[in-house]
Amino acid sequence: MSKIDYGTIVAGTDGSALAIPTIARAAWLARHDDADLVIVCAYSELSRRVDAKNVATLGGDPRSGQVLGRAAANEALAAAVALARDEGAVVVAALLMEGEPDKALLATAEDRSADLIVLGAVADRTITDRLLGTVAEEVTKRARCDVLIVRPIGDPAADQVVPEDGPEIVVAESAEE
């Protein structure tokens, strides 16, 4: 099996606690592979009326992973860039993008010909997540490059054990090697 080095990595941040290990992992990979790192923070500035209507209609905030307000997004992005640089990564772009996080990550990955998208995801699913999907699900379904999902330490999904009679996983070697 051949190893592929990543040339351009796109990482998402929302300023949450999960953003720290997500950006740290992306920065480590970028440093390890001598790749360019692009950090994206999606944000929303909705009017109070529209915001109240969205929350009332869906029973919660549908903008999971989205930072509310440009100032908060600026802070989240600055913290992510500082962390990535502290980890030794070369940050070639730090982008504030108004809109949905999945669309921002996918558009940036496409525009930059990214080889990898790195984003965080938690296993705790709300009814809104089940009905509308999550950022991680949308990115995983639609990305044209590799996707790395970073889970928080202690995430129950990470502790799930596959039963001994579970599916056998076989890695096939390429005949061209």
Domain extents for the chain?
8-159
From residue 145, how far is each of 25, 52, 114 by CA, in Å?
17, 36, 7
Compute φ and ψ for 93, nearest 5 degrees.
-160, 140
Kindly tell me if the per-residue pLDDT of 41 is higher than 80: yes
**pLDDT for res 4:** 75
- Give the pLDDT band of residue 59 (cuts 50, 70, 90): very low
What pLDDT was estimated at residue 174?
46
* pLDDT at residue 109 in the model: 98
- What pLDDT sits at residue 69? 83
DSSP letter assigned to residue 38: E
- Tell me if the domain spanning 8-159 has CATH number 3.10.450.50: no
- CB-based contact 135:64 (threshold 8 Å): yes
Paired with 96 in beta bridges are: 41
What's the pLDDT at 126? 63
| Distance set, CA 56 to CA 18, 41, 118 (Å) | 27, 25, 32
Under DSSP, the state recorded for 65 is: T
| Beta-strand pair 8-12/116-120 | parallel
Both tokens of 135, joined, read 């950022």
Tokens 């330490």 appear where?
A: 153
The model's pLDDT over 78-125, given as tens digits with 9 standing for 90+, comes to 999 999 999 999 999 999 999 999 999 999 999 999 999 999 987 656
Look at residue 169 and tell me whether its pLDDT is greater than 50: no
In angstroms, the CA 89 to CA 118 distance is 14
- For residue 21, pLDDT beyond 80: yes
- Name the percent of the chain lying above pLDDT 90: 55
- Mean pLDDT value of segment 42-67: 59
